[in-house]
Amino acid sequence: MGPAQTRRELLAAAGAGALGALALPSLASARRPGADPELVSLAVGTVGAAPRAVELPVSAAMFGLQWRAPRAARIEARFAAAEGRWSPWVPAGGVGHAPDGDAPPSTGEPLWARATRRIELRAPRPVEGVLVHALPATPARADAAAGPTRALPRLAAGAGQPVILARLNWAGRHSPPSTAPLYGNVEMAFVHHTDSPNGYSAAEVPAMIRGIYVFHRFVNGWDDIGYNFVVDLYGRIWEARAGGIDQSVIGAHAGGFNTYSSGVAVLGNFQSTDVTSQTKRALAALIGWKLALHGAPSRGRLTVRATRGAIGHSAFAPGSRVTLPRIAGHRDADQTGCPGRVLYDDLPAMRTRIHAAFPQPARLTLTAARADATPPEGAPPGPLRLLAGRLTGAGGEALAGASIEIQQRSVTRRGEQVVERTLADAVTDAEGNYLVALPAGTRGVLRALSTAAGRLGAVLSPDLYPPRT
């Protein structure tokens, strides 16, 4: 996508999205290889079945692999702790995370090592051109959660909004995305694990998330960290990808299906280990809130079309119709073991818990009004742009007397700062309908918000983009 390519052009060129829905862009981010001054890279050559010892030139807090061939390689790694004890062997290659539109990168997920100078690598079949990228260990800083900044806005959907720690807590002011985010529709959620070792402290979490960002952006060449949110083993929820926690930010977590989903990663490896009870509660609260906010049910299945990003790491051909759970594991869409066997096996129970706390949500729409619509009382003078919509409850019933705000989105600092400005308001009638009038020249991305949709709380409409001229 060239820098001059507009959202309108993307919409015109994109294939069909969720069946019967608006076509959406298939590009989450372009591959823009860069160089992070903190990363240290070391060429290893070919790795095979015999463990290959690697002495790192720095004490590494985190390391990850890149290779030339074969693209879908299986590599395992282990590392020596400062006291000399070796970690278990863990997967270090090919998890299937990727932006839509990209071929899967020949890279693995970064592994948290705290401080190591020695690693060993092995692969059942030879892997050529292996590079090790290491992020040097730095002195421990104070735990961000001791005095955290909470993410905004705070919109209580369904059973409410959980506490979400702002991106600033791990990224500081020197870890921006490379470009502004793109937006799609949140119609489902994917659950991931990061494949990092589980024995981390609460104080280490911000550095771990920032390390994942460094690898995703500067090794994989993505615009930003791939996940929308990260949940740690202490039950804390972290804003990850920039663009707004309430927005439909397209991530780089489930190649071929990012446009329709929000991606939540649990920090750790859950192939043979269960997540903590506080993590299960946080994960359920986050997913339930996020889906309810966007009017998506937590139970049932959704049929979508696999986008170009399905090439290479999905069992589904691009353009094919795929039916997925509303709350899916990454392995449901792509060829990966993510989110680990134990966490994946817990998803049915998690769906039941989420549905109990967040029943069928309200639905809110926003469209251009009919050409023969009469402007509402109090409309501004001059040429007008009329917008209409409807608010319905869990069973499709009209929700009358609900306040509606029409908001315009403003994105600055490449998505690190997102502001919604209210342009007009309305109240739904007996049929749940509303009509608003804006000056004809109003442009930008708009959405409707109801903060009190009956007992269901806040709900957002899908984004409405400027009409073609």
What pLDDT, in 10s, does the model give residues 62-119?
999 999 988 878 899 999 987 889 998 988 876 556 666 655 568 888 999 999 999 9
Query: Does domain 363-460 match CATH 2.60.40?
Result: yes
Report pLDDT for 8: 30
7-32+149-357: CATH number: 3.40.80.10
Task: State how far the alpha carbon of 258 is from the alpha carbons of 189, 191, 226, 232, in Å.
Answer: 9, 12, 10, 22
Contacts 24+ apart (CB under 8 A), 279-282: 279/231, 279/232, 279/233, 279/234, 279/235, 280/346, 280/350, 280/353, 281/235, 282/162, 282/231, 282/235, 282/236, 282/237
Report domain extents, the chain. Answer: 7-32+149-357, 40-136, 363-460
Q: How far is CA 392 from CA 3, 239, 331, 459, in A?
A: 39, 29, 33, 10
Structure tokens at 197: 């070792």
Q: Is 52 helix (H, G, I), strand (E, B) or coil?
A: strand
Cβ proximity of 109 and 220 under 8 Å: no
Distance in angstroms (rounded) separating the CA atoms of residues 107 and 131: 9
Compute how many other C-beta atoms are within 10 angstroms of the C-beta atom of residue 302: 19
**137 Cβ contact partners less than 8 Å away, ≥ 6 residues apart:** 58, 59, 60, 61, 114, 115
Residues facing 2 on adjacent strands: none
The DSSP result for 280-327, as a single string, is HHHHHHHHHHHHHHTT--SSSEEEEE--GGGTTTBSS-TT-EEEEESE
Fold of 40-136: Jelly Rolls (2.60.120)
**Which residues of the chain are under the pLDDT cut of 50?**
1-33, 142-145
Q: Identify the bridge partners of residue 309 per DSSP, sorted by sequence position.
A: none
Instruction: Note the pLDDT of residue 30.
Output: 31
Burial of 229 (0-12, 13-18, 19+ CB in 10 A): buried
- Measured CA to CA, the distance from residue 249 to residue 242 in angstroms comes to 8
pTM: 0.90
What b/e readout covers 386-424, taking b as 16+ CB neighbours within 10 angstroms? bbbbbbbbbeeeebeebebbbbbbebeebbbebebeebb
pLDDT at position 138, please? 81
What residues are paired with 324 via a beta bridge? 302
Q: Bridge partners of 55?
A: 118
Q: Check: CB of residue 215 under 8 Å from CB of residue 131.
A: no
What's at 107, amino acid-wise?
T
Distance from the first to the final alpha carbon of the chain: 22
